[in-house]
């Protein structure tokens, strides 16, 4: 219990909640003391609604983003108040304003939050319509409240500028540790490899998101303000984590083959599994120490674990004899090589937090991160291009505009006490995707009900105004703290906060709880119905595009690997960008699958295909990255003509699948028979492999062993890549056939089917 409380107190959610609550209560108390509480509350609202747009970034982007927000909030409030008395003018402007603000989401996370804050201000404007100079003053005080929040936010930034990034690094280490632990689980003889693969893909989605968050803050801070010691430390830690994850994904083993070969010698596999688990344990221990800002002491001696695995390999070779054990030793040596590289990277990560980090320690790798960082650019054509029903944001903008209009009309026609609560509920819970809206609707209603019951219980004791004021501040802090992580609990505390605010301002109104619950219920029902019936955007509509993007990203990455293997000139920016895009697209496909699971079963007609493509493409990425990683870290032999023939066939298979998804190919172009050149290339590769295995007379040659390792890895990866590319092409054909003959695939049916293991 105590550790959980400590984690709660040092988290960024509580830090942000305190920041915004201070920005709200200081003007409220100050103007209350001066005898003008309404001004203080207006400024508090300005601060509260500016807060959502304070997304993590460097100081320059923070200031610019918040300045734009406060002027937009003041402007839309003024426009609503000015046009409200003229219905013929108000309703068109209201609809256009809501639609355009909702469309801002096409510009990314910060713009999405600006849109959300502006829609919240529009909704709460109906709490009290101002006229004449009053509306100018009201908008001015909203502006002042937003600017005051900006000031407080900058002060907090300077107090602890690196804490958010540090905690994001902690979370990244923890998730990476979980991923390595799952890799260790694969060595269990009776392990459920399909379930482990699913969990790994889910973790990859989370890690992709957190990598983007860290890159956004950390790299831009370095670019704009130079490199401090703390920034260098965080940069080195982040670079190491990205490399650990990429190495893990890029190193795949055929567990079935390994178990068949080594189950009679369990010691060697158990020793390796122990090493794999200790890699994860050290990362987990490091994450805990960084979070608590305590000195890190290595939990397990990874070098000793490596020696133990080396001894196990030597014992295996001694038991079977050099000739008979040669292939097994090569397989185990590849596993050892992976483990050595991983230990090296984990030690680099540990050094970032135990020693002073100098600029030379980064070895120029920080420059590569800058190239991967997405520039802040908001072209008008991005907005124009999304004015189409194929755009998720366009459909959502139409939907939320229509729903808010319906909510406003219902609130006016029927005797609702506070119409703006209906509108606020719609804005807060309605999301572009059906699943998230449904989940937030349920959590908001339950949270409001819990808060209402607790609020009623507290008010029956008729607490004094100072007690209510204290509870109001406390519940606001708790509500804002829990909202990002547990929406149900956060909503309960926010409801208590609102109830006590009204109890202070209007103690004679005993029906406030009933009004709050009723208005929330109406808003929630409107939101869920709208998401189901008004231009819904089901994930299946975008399935083919997601699949195409993933295959295309992997194809581009494979081309870069081919260039690398042929030229031997080291990796360049194009290689890194292609690799990064492949990881992102796999994450996008898995995220689409997760969203589809939340949709009605009647809309999950492509569930099986999405997951199958995700698994196959992830396996292809893993195999390709394995070949790329090996080429980077070894002096490889000249690429043979047979290598390039096989590689070209792999690329052609992927091109054919992409063309099918684009509906560019005729069936006879895709179904063309495999030519003799390709078959001969595989025969040539296999003959070379068999010939090398038979050369037992030079088995002790170190140079020969290195060539054997290369031959084994390259040929096995080429065979695996070819099989996967053919599987992708075949699955693409099946997908397109299924579209002509729709069927209702269920998750139960899917998990009973066969799929390749990553």
pLDDT at 749 over 50: no
Distance CA 599, CA 281 (A): 37
Name the average pLDDT for the chain.
Answer: 77
Mean pLDDT highest for which of 3-17, 174-188, 591-605?
A: 174-188
DSSP for 482-496?
HTTT-HHHHHHHHHH
- The band of 668, judged by pLDDT with boundaries at 50, 70 and 90, is very low
pLDDT at 619: 81
Whole-structure pTM value: 0.75
Alpha helices in 534-606 (DSSP H): 543-567, 573-597
pLDDT at 361: 55
pLDDT at 76: 92
Residue 541 burial (10 A CB sphere; 0-12, 13-18, 19+): middle
- Kindly report, residue by residue over 71-80, the tens digit of the pLDDT: 999 999 999 9
Beta strands in 691-735 (DSSP E): none
Distance CA 627, CA 717 (A): 7
- Kindly report, residue by residue over 131-172, the tens digit of the pLDDT: 888 889 989 999 999 999 999 989 988 887 777 788 888 888
Name which of 16-30, 181-195, 701-715 the model is least confident about. 701-715
- Kindly report, residue by residue over 198-217, the tens digit of the pLDDT: 888 888 878 888 887 787 77
User: 607 or 739: whose pLDDT is higher?
Assistant: 607
Name which of 231-240, 394-403, 567-576 the model is least confident about. 567-576
In order of 106, 401, 432, 525, 601, the CA distances from 395 in angstroms are 12, 10, 8, 19, 21
pLDDT at 503: 74
Query: Which structure tokens are listed for 654?
Result: 């992927």
Nearest to 431 by CA among 482, 456, 395: 395
pLDDT at 678: 54
Name which of 221-225, 258-262, 714-718 the model is least confident about. 221-225
CATH match of 539-666+673-739 with 3.30.160: no
pLDDT at 708 over 60: no
Distance CA 562, CA 555 (A): 11
Q: How many residues does the chain have?
A: 758
pLDDT at 741: 58
Q: Is 539 strand, coil or helix?
A: helix
Q: Can you give the residue ranges of every domain in the chain?
A: 1-160, 163-371, 386-536, 539-666+673-739
Distance CA 400, CA 456 (A): 32
Query: Which structure tokens are listed for 614?
Result: 């995700």
In degrees, to the nearest 5, what angle opens at C-alpha 224 toward C-alphas 212 and 349?
Answer: 50
Mean pLDDT highest for which of 91-95, 292-296, 710-714?
A: 91-95
Query: Which structure tokens are listed for 295?
Result: 């000195």
- The band of 751, judged by pLDDT with boundaries at 50, 70 and 90, is very low
Q: How many C-beta neighbours within 10 Å does residue 340 have?
A: 15
Distance CA 428, CA 20 (A): 18
pLDDT at 746 over 60: no
Q: How many C-beta neighbours within 10 Å does residue 334 have?
A: 18
List CB contacts of 318: < 8 A, sequence separation 6 or more. none
Answer for the pair 455, 416: CB distance below 8 angstroms, yes or no: no
> 3-state SS of the chain: helix, strand, coil percent to 5?
80, 0, 20
């Amino acid at each position: 219990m105590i550790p959980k409380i400590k984690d709660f107190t040092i988290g960024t959610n509580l830090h942000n909640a305190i920041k915004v609550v201070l920005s709200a209560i200081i003007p409220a108390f100050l103007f209350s003391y001066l005898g003008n509480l309404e001004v203080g509350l207006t400024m508090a609202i300005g601060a509260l609604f500016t807060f959502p747009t304070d997304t993590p970034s460097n100081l320059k982007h923070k200031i610019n983003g918040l300045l734009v927000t406060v002027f937009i909030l003041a402007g839309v409030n003024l426009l609503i108040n000015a046009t409200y008395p003229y219905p013929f003018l108000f309703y068109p402007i209201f609809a256009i304003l809501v639609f355009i603000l909702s469309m801002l989401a096409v510009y990314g996370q910060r713009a999405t939050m600006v849109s959300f804050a502006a829609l919240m201000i529009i909704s709460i404007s109906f709490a009290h319509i101002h006229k004449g100079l009053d509306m100018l003053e009201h908008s001015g005080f909203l502006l002042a409240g937003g600017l005051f929040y900006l000031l407080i936010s900058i002060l907090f930034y300077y107090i602890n500028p690196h804490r958010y990034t540090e905690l994001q690094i902690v979370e990244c280490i923890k998730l990476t540790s979980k991923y390595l632990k799952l890799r260790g689980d694969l060595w269990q003889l009776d392990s459920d490899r399909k379930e482990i693969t699913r969990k790994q893909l889910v973790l990859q989605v989370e890690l992709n998101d957190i990598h983007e968050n860290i890159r956004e803050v950390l790299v831009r801070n370095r670019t704009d303000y130079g490199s401090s010691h703390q920034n260098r430390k965080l940069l080195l830690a982040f670079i190491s984590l990205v490399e650990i994850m990429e190495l893990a994904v890029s190193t795949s083993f055929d567990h079935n083959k390994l178990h068949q070969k080594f189950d009679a010698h369990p010691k060697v596999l158990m020793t390796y599994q122990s090493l794999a688990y200790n890699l994860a344990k050290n990362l987990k221990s490091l994450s805990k120490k960084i979070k608590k800002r305590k000195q890190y002491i290595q939990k397990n001696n990874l070098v000793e674990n490596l020696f133990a695995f080396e001894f196990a390999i030597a014992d295996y070779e001694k038991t079977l004899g050099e000739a008979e054990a040669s292939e097994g030793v090569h397989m185990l040596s590849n596993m050892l090589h992976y483990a050595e590289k991983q230990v090296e990277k984990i030690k680099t990560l540990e050094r970032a937090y135990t020693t002073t980090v100098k600029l030379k320690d980064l070895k120029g790798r920080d420059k590569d991160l800058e190239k991967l960082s997405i520039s802040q650019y908001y072209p008008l054509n991005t907005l124009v291009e999304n004015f189409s029903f194929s755009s998720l944001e366009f459909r959502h903008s139409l939907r939320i505009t229509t729903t808010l209009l319906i909510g406003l009309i219902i609130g006016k026609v029927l005797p609702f006490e506070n119409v703006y609560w209906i509108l606020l509920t719609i804005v807060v819970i309605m999301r572009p995707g059906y699943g998230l809206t449904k989940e937030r609707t349920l959590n908001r209603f339950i949270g409001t009900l819990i808060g209402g019951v607790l609020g009623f219980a507290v008010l029956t004791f008729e607490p004094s105004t100072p007690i209510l004021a204290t509870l109001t501040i406390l519940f606001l802090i708790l509500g804002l703290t829990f909202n990002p992580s547990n929406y149900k609990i956060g909503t309960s505390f926010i409801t208590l906060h609102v109830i006590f605010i009204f109890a202070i301002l209007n103690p004679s109104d005993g029906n406030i709880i009933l009004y709050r619950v009723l208005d929330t219920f109406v808003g929630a029902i409107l939101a869920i119905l709208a998401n189901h019936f008004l231009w819904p955007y089901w994930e299946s509509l975008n399935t083919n595009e997601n699949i195409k993007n993933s295959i295309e990203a992997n194809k581009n990455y494979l081309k870069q690997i081919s260039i690398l293997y042929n030229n031997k000139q080291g990796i360049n920016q194009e290689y890194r960008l292609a690799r990064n895009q492949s990881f992102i697209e796999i994450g996008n496909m898995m995220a689409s699958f997760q969203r589809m699971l939340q949709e009605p079963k009647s809309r999950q007609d492509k569930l099986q295909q999405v997951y199958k493509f995700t698994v196959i493409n992830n396996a292809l990425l893993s195999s390709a990255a394995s070949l790329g990683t090996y080429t980077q870290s070894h002096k490889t032999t000249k690429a043979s003509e047979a290598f390039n023939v096989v590689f070209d066939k792999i690329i052609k298979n992927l091109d054919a699948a992409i063309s099918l998804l684009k509906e560019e190919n005729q069936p006879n172009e895709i179904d063309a028979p495999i030519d003799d050149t390709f078959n001969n290339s595989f025969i040539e590769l296999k003959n070379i492999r068999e010939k090398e295995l038979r050369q037992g007379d030079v088995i002790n040659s170190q140079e020969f062993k290195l060539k054997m390792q290369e031959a084994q890895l390259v040929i096995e990866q080429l065979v695996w890549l070819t099989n996967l590319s053919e599987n992708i092409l075949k699955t693409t054909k099946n997908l397109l056939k299924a579209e002509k003959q729709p069927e209702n695939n269920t998750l139960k049916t899917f998990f009973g089917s066969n799929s390749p293991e990553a």
